[in-house]
Structures are given as C-alpha cells and as structure tokens.
Amino acid sequence: MSTRPLASVSVDLDNLWAYLKTHGDPAWRDHPSYLDTAVPRLLEVLDGRRLTFFVVGADAVREDGAKAVAAIAAAGHEVANHSFGHEPWLHRYSRDRLEEELSRTEEAITAAGVPRPTGFRGPGYSVTRDLVELLAERGYAYDASTLPTWIGPLARAYHNRTVRAGAGGEGLGELFGGFSRVLAPVHAYRWRTCGSSALVELPVTTMPLLRTPIHGSYLLQLHEASPRLARAYFRTALRLCRARGVAPSLLLHPTDVLGGAEAPGMEFFPGMAAPGTRKVAWLDWVLAALREYFDVVGTGEYVRRSDVRRTRPVTRLDGGR
C-alpha cells in the first residue's frame, strides 16, 4: 500500500434544470437534463478511479437519472446524497423539511439499486445545526458541505447580478455564506453533537493560507484567462497542501466537461464559452497533477481510511447559521 498522503475527488451531479431553477429561468420546470451526455464523459475522464458522486434525489427518481446512478455505481464509484430538490437555500429549511430531503433522496438512490448513502453535501454549501444533527442521527459517516473561503459574498454578488427576479426569494441573500467562513477549518474534523463526535466534516479544500477556491469550475475560469497561470496556481495549492498537512478534497461538476451547446440556457455560467473538448483536456491535466502529489480516492473512502481527530462544536457553524 502506498505511503503517500491521500486526496479525495467528488462530483456534484447538479443537473441543467437545477442551475436554471436557481437562476430563475422558468424552463427548469420541464426538468431539462444533460446527464446522458455528462455522466459517460465524466466516467471516462475519471479513468477508472473509485471516487464519489453526490446525486440529487429528484434526478435519481427519473429514468435518465436512475440510469446515470446505476452506471456510476457499476463503475465502482460511491453514490452520496446531494439533497432532493437541490435548493441552495437549504439553510432556511425547517428540521422536518430537511429530514424529508434526506429521506426522499435515500429512497431514490436505493430504488436505483445503490446502497444507502453515508455521505452528504448541501447544495450551495448549505449547512445548519439541524442538518448536522440529522445526519448524525441517521447514521451518516460524513458531511462535505463547508467551503472555508472569504469569497462567498463576492460569488453571491456575481451570481445574483444575473438572476431573474424572484429566483430563490430571500435565500439568495445568504447564498455561499459570509466572509466569516474564512475562519472555518480547512482540515477534516468531527462535529461534536449530543456528546458524540462520530460525524466527520470534510471541507471542500481551498488554497491553504490564501483560502481561495481550487475546485474545478474556479480552476477552469483561471485556465480560460491564462493556462500558465492556472497550472501554476493549482501546483502551488498542491504544494501548500503537502507542506501544511492538508488532504485536498477536490470538487467537480458536470459543467467542467460540457460546452455551452450541451447545456442550453446556461450562458450566464462562468466557463460555458469553452468547448467541452478543451475542458476535458484541462480536467485530465488537473487530475494527473493531483495524482503526482497524492493518492486519490473518493470522499467516503478518504473518511474510512483517515484518523480524523480534530473536533468542532456544532454551535460553531460557518457563517453563523
């Protein structure tokens, strides 16, 4: 067995309709999907590695979504819970509604022939005390909903500038969290809930020290501006992770491999002007660079193989929610 440190890679399988819904485009109600294109491409670019896909329940109950879930599981990947309705204002839900989101997605995933999920990520990095406690009560091994960065308000301003009126209501005012998230841990830790420290929180990794994002979509934006800068930025992040003992948790999305023509209506989303072939080539480089420094696994496998000893009280939620 390799003695190199671990890194994890996960894919949030956000579908076209979910982006349109958050953007306020009424076309989302027809639930347009790009899963038939995105999933085979993602499985190919991930090169047989057993990683993690966070699946939306409303997709898993559909024919194309259930087919995608089955293909993902057949390729050896973990299937985790990404909520049922993929609303990034999940932090405004009541406890009962949160529990319904979890249970409906669990049922949809198991109905597709996949084991009950043990990992969760909230859309829009939504996390609350109720959510953490419910995940612990329902026997989840880990949550992966935090993004320890200071750019949340900037990302929210960029997003909201293009959103159609009425999309998301008041929830958009809290999207992506506040500047205080820069104080959140970048290392994995365990939430202390009701005297227990069983539930692991696996943050989406940001650049150590700078706390700027290094997930797939952000790297793609840098690459479109300057490939040389993007490569230097990512390698710097990986070296800092090694130097500071941070196990990178790299987040990807279907948009990281799709061109604009394959996701109609998403012209507002950063990076959609780039052709899919160029995106795939860039993602190949990113994953190869990650493997130079780390052994790459899925988020669930990382949690199983890691001795996570840091703890954090559930009252200290990022952004004060």
pLDDT at 154: 47
- Cα–Cα dist 239/289, whole Å: 11
Domain ranges in the chain are 6-316
pLDDT at 203: 96
Is CATH 3.20.20.370 the right assignment for the domain spanning 6-316?
Answer: yes
- Cα–Cα dist 90/74, whole Å: 30
Distances (CA, A) of 315 to 178, 191, 197, 283: 16, 9, 13, 37
Give the three-state DSSP class for 187. coil
pLDDT at 255: 97
- Residue pair 250/215 in contact (Cβ under 8 Å)? The answer is yes
Query: What are the two backbone dihedrals, phi and then psi, of residue 117, each rounded to the nearest 5 degrees?
Result: -65, 150
- Cα–Cα dist 155/249, whole Å: 20
pLDDT tens track, the chain, 321 positions = 567 899 999 999 999 999 999 888 999 999 999 999 999 999 999 987 899 999 999 999 999 999 999 999 999 999 999 999 999 888 889 999 999 999 999 999 999 999 999 999 999 888 899 999 999 999 999 999 999 986 655 454 444 555 555 555 445 545 555 555 667 889 999 998 766 668 999 999 999 999 999 999 999 999 999 999 999 999 999 999 999 999 999 999 999 999 999 999 999 888 899 999 999 999 999 999 999 999 999 999 999 999 999 998 886 564 444
pLDDT at 167: 52
Give the three-state DSSP class for 110. helix
State the residue for tokens 């190919």: 44
pLDDT at 319: 43
pLDDT at 47: 81
Query: What are the two backbone dihedrals, phi and then psi, of residue 234, each rounded to the nearest 5 degrees?
Result: -70, -40
Tokens matching residue 263:
């996701």
Residue at 221: amino acid letter: Q
- Residue pair 253/218 in contact (Cβ under 8 Å)? The answer is no
Q: Which residues, at least 6 apart from 17, have a Cβ–Cβ distance to it below 8 Å?
A: 28, 30, 31, 32, 33
Q: How many CA atoms lie within 13 A of 16 on its CB side?
A: 26
| pTM of this structure | 0.92
- Residue pair 290/45 in contact (Cβ under 8 Å)? The answer is no
DSSP string, 251-306: EE-GGGS--GGGSTT-TTSTTTTS-HHHHHHHHHHHHHHHHHHSEEE-HHHHHHH-
State the residue for tokens 């989406």: 204
pLDDT at 151: 63
- Cα–Cα dist 216/263, whole Å: 17
CB neighbours of residue 67 within 10 Å? 14
Tokens matching residue 141:
């091994």
- Cα–Cα dist 25/38, whole Å: 21
- Cα–Cα dist 309/205, whole Å: 18
